[in-house]
Structure 1
Amino acid sequence: MEHKLVPYNAVLCLDARSVLVLAPHADDEVLGCGGAILAHVDAGSAVKVVIATDGAFGLEGEARAQFAELRRAESRAAAQVLGYGEPVFWSYPDQGLAYGERLIHDILAAAQGCDLIYAPSVHEMHPDHRALGMAAVEAVRRLGGPVRLAAYEVGVPLPPNLLLDISASAHRKQAAVACFASQLERQDYGRHVEALNQFRTYTLPKDVTAAEAYLVLSAEDIGRDMLGLYQPEHRRQRRLGLRIDAWDAPLVSVLIRSVDRPELDDALDSVALQTYPNIEVVVVDATGKHRALPAWCGRFPMKLVGQGRALSRSEAANAALDAASGELLIFLDDDDLFHAEHVARLAEAKTKAQAQVAHSGVEVVDGRGVIDVYDDGVTAARLMAWNRLPIMGVMFDRSLVEQGCRFDESLDVYEDWDFWLQITRLGKLARSVGVTATYRAHLGRSILSDGLDEPQQAAWRHRIWAKWLRRWGPEDMQALVDDLRAGARERERKIAEAAFAESELRRALLERELEIQALRNSTSWRLTAPVRALMGLLRRSPAAVA
């Protein structure tokens, strides 16, 4: 999961037509993004560099003016090394930058025609760095359109989403750093930035010897989440799906429709054994007179809800949806079982595929053992033809319910199939390979256990199709045809592979038979025939040996 925190590859240049570099002090433009400036100049992009402050903190009068001019001269010398031309000096007082309309308006004016703006990260420790970075974020948000912000690091490492390979230009960057003699007298910034650029190669191939790190955001990204840049690291990692503690994992609601059978205890025990850390259990009283249940299912909180009357399966399912608090939802009938890794595997598959729905393999058992296994790939198109998703094998986002997906309370059979058809039209379907749940068909009520004959099952299927045919358009039918054709091609491929394997086995068998025949026809075989006969006799008559 480390790739979510730091990139594992690097680029040689950020695409841009016209670039604006904002530096709080003379030297920050080189320390933070000198390699990027070199890459843009080499690529022929227009580069404009603004030095925001005079860099003369603590000095007054003539001494301040002279030192400020020295800093400007050093920046001009570095510009010659980098090859971008003449820097622009705003001459704000050092440590006098303030986040506000004046600074934002100056940035907006300087950024006209630019499509990429470099600015210090808002995580920097120096107040001028933070103020300029914050103002740049707001300016990019207001500019909108194709403008992007590339936040760079100087004093504090930032959380990057892009690494720039500067291996070939690192020596030129160091030459530009050497121009700032007034600053290098105070601190060896060249050594520091060289170490930082080497550190940034940690996740890159061995031949990358220096890199700069950036957090690149579009104006749209910033507008969509204005506070995202300022969130604490804990929250950022949680949003990336990286758990620090159990509560960082999305809450999963396990929804159980119960008619208060003894087997409910087995189902609850299987939930209590889940390895996933953040679960709530919602049990729906489908009888109207359910026994009381404890407040906890193992380490997970549990609640019993109902409407004071008997509920149909679809009514109970909707009651469960309404009572759930989780971001992720999954049903478990009161006579079936989750394997210990079931919820964790489904949540992982869904997250990895960035899907709204995930399904896993389910074994079907009766009193004698396993009678069927549902562990094949299922597509939204294939669901149009038949249902291969047992209800305990599917996890889905709560957002799909919020978009209007509900159980059809007029259906008493195949109500789950109808629900799957709804959610897979709105969300991507992912697969967790392998059996991680058990469907105990002989204990409950289902197509497998209700004793419905084929004509009765067909009548219910026809009812589902009649409902959905009014919604399916030509593109849905084409998707079904394409899916069936793909399945047919896959079966033909497997048949061809099996036929080839059979022919190879037959050829090998024939070769072996010919070898045996040749051996039997050999002189040595004939000469040793009496010995073989004697040994065979001895094996058949062990008493003769005694």
Structure 2
Amino acid sequence: MAQRRILVVAAHPDDEILGMGGTIAKHALHESAEVAVLWVSEGSSTQYPGDEQIAQQKFREAEAAAKTLGVTHCMQRTLPDMRLDTVGHVEVNRVVEEAVDEFGPDTVYTVHPDVNLDHRTVFRSVMVATRPYAGSSVRRVLSYATTSGIEWTPPFEASFAPNVFVDVTATIEDKVSAFSCYQTETRPWPHPRSSRAIRANAESWGSGVGWAYAEPFVLIRELRT
């Protein structure tokens, strides 16, 4: 059987850990899949304007977190943080399409279109980049929920109704350890970007499906031969 190739698309460095760090570790460390992460934006210029040192630190944090989870390919792009809605749709499409063409994944995970406009922009571009066509490697597309974004989305907008759940009981500590690499993003409890909140969120989803810890996803598309 061919080795699985999985691409995780994030609008910002840390989306991937908050949303599906346990699942990334499961794919890479327990299932021997080849996992790549694409960060579409540079992730710091709005929060830390003009601070190149912080920008470099955040990328080092992102790479360290990815390595903790067994990610083999890190793709950092430099579109403007928290301003992706000001970038031409075709330009964001190009960034995602190039990553898909370069890595050739069979499965693509994308951040869910929640209250964050960058997340919505990236989601739309992933839908373009993964549309089915003859010769495409992509067979499954799923969205993941980034905490401190998904829970603040108004109910009349893009709600998150998961229909796929992954048991991350064996990898929840990998997720917590990976997020601890993001010193620029870690916050004290009860903020959702705290280690306690990360465990509590996974515990809550797990209790609903009979596991100690779980991560939820929305299956967007699956092609079966």
Distance 2:124 2:40 in 1: 14
Is it true that 1:127 corresponds to 2:127 in the alignment?
no
Is it true that 1:138 corresponds to 2:140 in the alignment?
no
Distance 2:165 2:187 in 1: 30
5 Å matches for 1:41-440? Answer: 41=28, 42-56=30-44, 57-61=46-50, 63=51, 65-98=52-85, 100-112=89-101, 113-122=104-113, 124-143=114-133, 146-154=138-146, 155-156=149-150, 158-185=160-187, 187=191, 189=193, 190-205=195-210, 208-218=211-221
Distance 2:117 2:22 in 1: 24
Distance 2:76 2:186 in 1: 21
CA deviation string 1:402-434 (max 9, x = no partner) = xxxxxxxxxxxxxxxxxxxxxxxxxxxxxxxxx
- Check whether the contact 1:151–1:216 (CA below 8 A) recurs between aligned residues: yes
Are residues 16 and 162 of structure 1, via their aligned partners in 2, closer, same or farther at CA, if it must alter by over 3 Å?
farther
Are residues 101 and 18 of structure 1, via their aligned partners in 2, closer, same or farther at CA, if it must alter by over 3 Å?
same
Distance 1:218 1:117 in 2: 10
Q: Tell me the equivalent position of 1:37.
A: 24
CA deviation string 1:187-219 (max 9, x = no partner) = 5513333222111123222xx111000111226
Distance 2:105 2:132 in 1: 13
CA deviation string 1:271-294 (max 9, x = no partner) = xxxxxxxxxxxxxxxxxxxxxxxx
5 Å matches for 1:494-509? Answer: none
- Shift, 1:140, TM fit: 1.5
Distance 1:16 1:160 in 2: 26
- Check whether the contact 1:160–1:214 (CA below 8 A) recurs between aligned residues: yes
* Aligned-residue identity in percent: 26
What residue identity is the alignment partner of 2:176? Q
CA deviation string 1:34-74 (max 9, x = no partner) = 1111111121111111111122114333x1x1111111011
- Check whether the contact 1:81–1:172 (CA below 8 A) recurs between aligned residues: yes
What residue identity is the alignment partner of 2:109? Y
Cα RMSD after superposing both structures? 2.3
Number of aligned pairs? 202
Distance 1:141 1:16 in 2: 22
Distance 1:210 1:16 in 2: 26
What residue identity is the alignment partner of 1:26? P
More helix as a share of residues: 1
What residue identity is the alignment partner of 1:136? V
Partner secondary structure for residue 21 of structure 2: helix
TM norm structure 2: 0.81
CA deviation string 1:280-322 (max 9, x = no partner) = xxxxxxxxxxxxxxxxxxxxxxxxxxxxxxxxxxxxxxxxxxx
What residue identity is the alignment partner of 2:184? S
Partner secondary structure for residue 183 of structure 1: coil
- Check whether the contact 1:100–1:135 (CA below 8 A) recurs between aligned residues: yes
Q: Which has the higher contact order (CA 8 A, sep 6+)?
A: 2
What residue identity is the alignment partner of 1:50? L
Gap regions ≥5 residues in structure 2: 152-159
Distance 2:14 2:69 in 1: 12
- Check whether the contact 1:16–1:115 (CA below 8 A) recurs between aligned residues: no
- Shift, 1:167, TM fit: 0.6
Q: Work out which of the two has the higher radius of gyration on C-alpha atoms and give 1 or 2.
A: 1
